[in-house]
Amino acid sequence: MTSATAPHSLHQAYALTPVINAAGSFTPLGVSRSSTHVAQSVAAALQSFFIINELQTLASERLSAFCGCEAAAVTHCVSAAITQAVAACITGTDQAAVAALPETHGRANAVVIPEGHCVNYGHPLVTDIRLAGATVVRAGSRDACSLDDIEQALDRPGVCCLLLVSSRLTAFQNLDTRGAVAAARQRGIPVVIDGAAQDMRIPELLSTGADGVLVSAHKYLASPTAGLVLGTRDFVQRFRAQEAGIGRGMKPSKEAIVGVLAALEERQAQDQVAWKKQQDEKVVLAVALLHKCPGIEVTTDPDPAGMPFQRVRVRCLEGEGMARAVVQALKAGSPSIWVMEHQLEQGAIQLELVALSEEEVRQVVDAIGSALCDQTSD
Ligand SMILES: *Cc1c(COP(=O)(O)O)cnc(C)c1O
């Protein structure tokens, strides 16, 4: 999936900063790198016309067969998919109601979401909900949400959907997801799960009984920017009905749908065991090389949301100030190296190596070593 020699010609032609992304599927850096097969399919798509509905039908067939759901569709991204999914729960396929959004004209429009799931992935997730004309009902507290909290929030008039987020960004991971889904379904309330970065856990998320699971195809699937909705035939139909309303600005491009098909073909052909081994080997390499650097403690952490790879955690023994200095030095270098920064307060940075070649792993470790030496000799 990863090309060892990234095409630097664009960086040269436009004098852009070359980047090594060890920060995961990070939107400000362009999220992921597509394979040659995906890039070539996309290039071919750009030079052709298609019947978009035919592409959507094909994507639905392929995605459903792969994920084990009744139907699927492609939209612009998961941010768009959240808005479109909420709209689907408000209007169904009623054409007048679809055209009227974001005016809801008295329809049920309250979306229940655990407070700790109201994450910010560059903007507040609740903005995606409110864009559909919905109001947000937060269940539980920032740090916890019990089944009682969910049931209390669901038992009010005007609830149109329960939205759950499966992400490393959520404040807690211990929600009884299956129980929450069942509580909503008992009341006839549809459930949508935002599993944007969870494309290797789709069957598990679908098995909760959710009506729709939303996944970013441009994260670990490494397609062009695209949001996938996977779920029941009925839900996907209501989702796609929004294309005649607020979904217009969220449409998937022809090249995105073709890119999703190509990325899916690669994922299907991929030996998951060999892939996981490759990821583990990069982690082992990084840890072994980092152990030679002074002033740090190196450990590995599993992906917090259950994706099948580990991250490398580098804690600076001198604390937060040193960690911040290292981050700045890495960014200022050439290529500019970006790492995960959410544990800086603990003096730690994290490296996600999935998108990196072995050569890039070595470059990252070298740069960290240099940054540490420069800081201690200052
Ligand atoms: C990345 C992410 C999104 C946004 O996905 P896009 O497809 O980039 O719009 C939404 N929710 C979560 C939990 C994410 O990680």
Q: How far apart are CA 94 and CA 102, in angstroms?
A: 14
CA 219 to chain centre: 6
Q: How far apart are CA 148 and CA 183, in angstroms?
A: 10
Nearest CA to ligand 1 atom 6: 78
Q: In sequence order, what DSSP letters do the residues of 213-234 get, joined into one string?
A: EEEETTSTT--SS-EEEEE-HH
Contacts of 13 (CB under 8 A, 6+ apart): none
**H or E, element range at 349:** strand 348-351
pLDDT tens digits, residue range 287-327? 999 998 989 999 999 988 888 999 999 999 999 999 999 99
**Would you state the pLDDT for residue 128?**
98
**Would you state the pLDDT for residue 378?**
58
Q: Which of the 8 DSSP states describes residue 120?
A: B
Token couple for 327: 């981050």
> Could you tell me the distance, in angstroms and rounded to a whole number, from the CA of residue 48 to the centre of ligand 1?
29
pLDDT tens digits, residue range 217-270? 999 999 999 999 999 999 999 999 999 999 999 999 999 999 999 999 999 999
For the segment(s) 9-30+271-377, the CATH number from 3.20.20.70, 3.40.718.10, 3.90.1150.180, 3.40.190.10 is: 3.90.1150.180
pLDDT tens digits, residue range 97-107? 999 999 999 99
Question: Which of 74, 199, 216, 342 best tests ligand 1's pocket when mutated (most atoms within 8 Å of CB)?
Answer: 216
Asked whether the predicted pLDDT for residue 1 surpasses 60, the reply is: no
**Is the distance from the beta carbon of residue 86 to the nearest atom of ligand 1 less than 6 Å?**
no
What class does CATH assign to 36-269? alpha beta
Least confident range of 180-189, 277-286, 366-375: 366-375
**Would you state the pLDDT for residue 219?**
96
Question: Which of 121, 166, 175, 228 best tests ligand 1's pocket when mutated (most atoms within 8 Å of CB)?
Answer: 121
Asked whether the predicted pLDDT for residue 283 surpasses 80, the reply is: yes
Domain boundaries, the chain: 9-30+271-377, 36-269
Which residue(s) pair with 111 in the sheet? Answer: 136, 161
**Would you state the pLDDT for residue 3?**
46
Contacts of 281 (CB under 8 A, 6+ apart): none
Contacts of 355 (CB under 8 A, 6+ apart): 2, 21, 25, 32, 33
Q: How far apart are CA 17 and CA 31, in angstroms?
A: 16
> Could you tell me the distance, in angstroms and rounded to a whole number, from the CA of residue 185 to the centre of ligand 1?
25
Nearest CA to ligand 1 atom 12: 196
